[in-house]
Amino acid sequence: MSRPSEFDLIARLFAPLATAPGAFGLKDDVAIIAARAGFDLVVTTDAIVEGVDFFSGDPPAGVAAKALRVNLSDLAAKGAEPAAYLLNLALPRGVDMPWLEDFARGLRDDQARFGITLLGGDTGSTPGPLSVAITAFGHVPQGQMIIRGGARLGDAVFVTGTLGDSGGGLALLKGEAGADLSAGLRAFLIDRYRLPQPPVLFGPALRGIATAAVDVSDGLLADLGHVADASGVRIAVEAARIPISPALAVLWGRDTVSILRAATAGDDYQIAFTAPLSSEAEIAKGAHDTIVTRIGRVESGVGVALLDAAGHEIAVARRGFRHF
């Protein structure tokens, strides 16, 4: 089935997703984000590209959800509540109407789940791979956004969720490992690659508690490096404390090499943050269904160090994913 013109496509699939009054039903060139008294507007943007961030055979609804959720992860790490987003699609010729209908369904389902609405964007064709770029907007009370540069000496370091699951799923999809893995564990890890689970509801609970935060997208060590650099501190991470899911432990094991792989694989979309050690009980209280693990501490010095059980630094050749 061929796809309709750009404007028919917008009217049929995307205008129904633009429910905010300021979106004007996607019939204008711009949109309005209404100011909220006492709040700052937080903006982030990320793109995912076929062959780099997802496979051509991945379910279209999942591609849409992944594109949206990698942005929601950034908002959550800032303590912001999601509000709206812009969508830019670069579509190759092979993308037909059934694919786009399922893609739009993925956006619709996540809009309902996370309380966010489409404001507009752009749709065009490309001779290259499919690309989905989203710019997301969120709100945070004035002056309460959690920055990267606030980590203090003596703070503890925490991370949400489990790490490395997406990397394990990617390895399975590439056929690199897992021939003997059960169907259930295999499905779990592949789902974590295709469909991130950012702690969107937990992010706002960190306001007034976390001193610094970052979303874990390029890898735990790489992203904590940004916090260390911005804060002018050293972050020490205890390898044995890094949370690994049972599924990944079966696939990769729990030795130092496996933990290092999980800490550098990337595509986790969890939150790494610093906070006073005295706030650990308060963090646990606000976590609800989110797993939060204390993994290290903030010290004087520079950079990020991964430590073994004896406190010795583990050599790390590659700290995370690099785009270039």
Q: Is residue 315 part of a domain?
A: no
Instruction: Say whether both 93 and 27 belong to one domain.
Output: yes
In the prediction, which pLDDT does 25 show? 95
Q: Is residue 324 part of a domain?
A: no
Structural domain that includes position 277: 148-307
Instruction: Say whether both 282 and 165 belong to one domain.
Output: yes
Q: Is residue 313 part of a domain?
A: no
277, HSE (Cβ side, Cα atoms, 13 Å): 8
- Write out the two tokens for 283: 């963090």
- Which of 141, 176, 209 represents a domain boundary (last residue)? 141
Instruction: Say whether both 157 and 300 belong to one domain.
Output: yes
Instruction: Say whether both 108 and 173 belong to one domain.
Output: no
Instruction: Say whether both 72 and 177 belong to one domain.
Output: no
Q: How many domains does the chain have?
A: 2
Torsion of CA 93, 95, 98, 99, to 10 degrees: -170
Instruction: Say whether both 182 and 298 belong to one domain.
Output: yes
- Which of 90, 116, 141 represents a domain boundary (last residue)? 141
CATH number of the domain residue 113 falls in: 3.30.1330.10
Instruction: Say whether both 42 and 94 belong to one domain.
Output: yes
Cα–Cα distance, 251 to 253 (Å, whole number) = 6
Output the CA–CA distances (angstroms, integers) from residue 36 to 83, 115, 141, 254, in the order listed.
11, 16, 9, 47
Residue 264's nearest CA partner among 247, 242, 290, 297 is: 242
Q: Is residue 119 part of a domain?
A: yes
Pairing mode of beta strands 131-141, 39-49: antiparallel
Q: Is residue 321 part of a domain?
A: no
**pLDDT in 10s for each residue of the chain, 324 residues:** 566 788 888 999 999 999 999 999 999 999 999 889 999 999 999 999 999 999 999 999 999 999 999 999 999 999 999 999 999 999 998 899 999 999 999 999 999 999 999 999 999 999 999 999 999 999 999 999 999 999 999 999 999 999 999 999 999 999 987 778 999 999 999 999 999 999 999 999 999 999 999 999 999 999 999 999 999 999 999 999 999 999 999 999 999 999 999 999 999 999 999 999 999 999 999 898 999 999 999 999 999 999 999 999 999 888 877 665
Instruction: Say whether both 96 and 127 belong to one domain.
Output: yes
Residue 267 · residue 166 · CB < 8 Å: yes
3-class SS string, the chain: CCCCCHHHHHHHHHHHHCCCHHHHHHCCCCCCCCCCCCEEEEEEEEEEEECCCECCCCCHHHHHHHHHHHHHHHHHHCCCEEEEEEEEEEECCCCCHHHHHHHHHHHHHHHHHHCCEEEEEEEEECCCCCEEEEEEEEEEECCCCCCHHHCCCCCEEEEECCCCHHHHHHHHHCCCCCCCCCHHHHHHHHHHHHCCCCCCCCHHHHCCCCCEEEEECCCHHHHHHHHHHHHCCEEEEEHHHCCCCHHHHHHHCCCHHHHHHHHHCCCCCEEEEEECHHHHHHHHHHHCCCCEEEEEEEECCCEEEEECCCCCECCCCCCCCCCC
Residue with tokens 């044995």: 240
Instruction: Say whether both 134 and 175 belong to one domain.
Output: no
Pairing mode of beta strands 156-160, 270-275: antiparallel
Q: Is residue 280 part of a domain?
A: yes
Q: Across the beta sheet with 117-125, what order do the strands follow?
A: 39-49, 131-141, 81-91, 117-125
- Which of 89, 123, 141 represents a domain boundary (last residue)? 141
Taking the model in full, what pTM does it have? 0.95
Q: Is residue 55 part of a domain?
A: yes
Instruction: Say whether both 79 and 181 belong to one domain.
Output: no
Contacts (Cβ under 8 Å, ≥6 apart) of 193: 165, 166, 167, 168, 169, 170, 173, 267
Q: Is residue 323 part of a domain?
A: no
Instruction: Say whether both 282 and 182 belong to one domain.
Output: yes
Instruction: Say whether both 11 and 113 belong to one domain.
Output: yes
CATH number of the domain residue 227 falls in: 3.90.650.10
